[in-house]
Chain A
Amino acid sequence: QVQLQESGPGLVKPSQTLSLTCTVSGASISSGGNFWTWIRQHPGKGLEWLGYIYDSGSTFYNPSLKSRVTMSLDTSKNHFSLELSSVTAADTAVYYCARAPTGHCSTSSCYALDLWGQGTLVTVSS
């Protein structure tokens, strides 16, 4: 059974870099055909899509985050990571990692987040 688990500091100071890791268990992250994705949810609010990194290492980030976000893959540790720089209180949120397998649908275009981590709350405060 494949599972995702987020980990990282629960408290980050303003202007610093938020760093989170999503560990994949039960499958190899390099098995191919997956968009490894980060989403966040501000307290009491809706879902905000942050970006993905594909198996090849190619990335797409939400333009709203401009140049603050970086995602990476570490196949040796079977995890992928999120870095968000220059954080402010507005970055306080529950951060989720998720998987979107390209083969999930029968159509040529597919992006369905079929597996999610439980989420981790990150608070930005001095």
Chain B
Amino acid sequence: DFQMTQSPSSLSGFVGDRVTMTCQASQDINKYLNWYQQKPGKAPKLLIYGASTLETGAPSRFSGSGSGTQFTLTISGLQPEDIATYYCQQYDHLPPVFGPGTKVDIQ
């Protein structure tokens, strides 16, 4: 079965920190990967698509990179409003499954 994994499962940083989380696919997915941000009690929001393209309106401190099986989401300058769970989703294979998420907190 095709699987997505994310690490770490949770992380904590200070305001202004650069934080990085990773997403790994069990098979090559080229650059067909999205990142979503879900704040507590809210619906997810698209942050990045195509592994590295920032969604219109998303803050520029978010960036994505990677291809193949390894991907990274970076927040350059963590802000209090970034407290959320971040999910990756591949769309190279059907079904377009999500990763288990990385929960981000402020120290």
Contacts and interface: CB of A to CB of B under 8 A. Distances in A.
Interface stretch (B61-69, B71-79, B92-100): B92-100
B44 A113 contact: yes
Kindly state the interface size class of chain A when it binds its partner.
20 to 34
B44 A47 contact: yes
Contact of B49 (A62, A112, A116): A112
Kindly state the interface size class of chain B when it binds its partner.
20 to 34
A112 B92 CA distance: 12
Interface string A31-52: 0000000000000001111010
Given A105-B50, A112-B46, A62 B95 contact: yes
A118 to B, nearest CB: 6
A96 B43 contact: yes
- Secondary structure dominating the interface of B: loop
- Secondary structure dominating the interface of A: loop
Contacts of A46: 87, 98-101
Contacts of B97: 49
Nearest to B41: A119
Given A110-B49, A113-B34, A114-B55, A49 B95 contact: yes
A46 B100 CA distance: 6
Interface of A: 46-49, 51, 60, 62-63, 96, 104-107, 109-114, 116-119
